[in-house]
Structure 1
Amino acid sequence: MKHKVIVNHWEEICEDDSCYEYGTSIIVNGKELIREASIITALKAVLEEIGADVEIEETVESEKCCDSLRKKNLDY
């Protein structure tokens, strides 16, 4: 079965222009899975929705790269 995955970039402005929000939603086979997606949560949601059994490992390419990412305690 071929699955249809849509990566939808959206923005919303309050009626009085007092706020502005934007994000990315993930839609699989017509079902919105996530409204505000990071790359990891989006990937996990898509793979889970299509029934794929995978292990996702996030790495940092360089010791000097991405210190802020390494310092975060990310719970995926």
Structure 2
Amino acid sequence: MESYNPSEILNAIKVKRAMMINCANKKGFTSEETIKYSQELDVLINEYQRAAQQFSRPNEEVRFAFNQMVMIWPKVFV
């Protein structure tokens, strides 16, 4: 799968999970089609985890920078 933002991947995960459950109910949990959907779902979940980590890094950097500014501001006003 191409890289998308985490919310797009979450939507794809929801769709794939529904397809897998539907297939499992109709054809069984061990049918080839159900297993194929399960494997595709695994790929999407891994992609989501990678994307979520990439999107969270800037937030952590911004949070760190903000904390540093907060620690500096009181000293400036003293």
TM-score (norm 1): 0.21
Larger % of strand: which? 1
**Structure with larger RCO (C-alpha < 8 A, sep 6+):** 2
Larger % of helix: which? 2
Query: Which protein shows a greater Rg?
Result: 2
TM-score (norm 2): 0.21
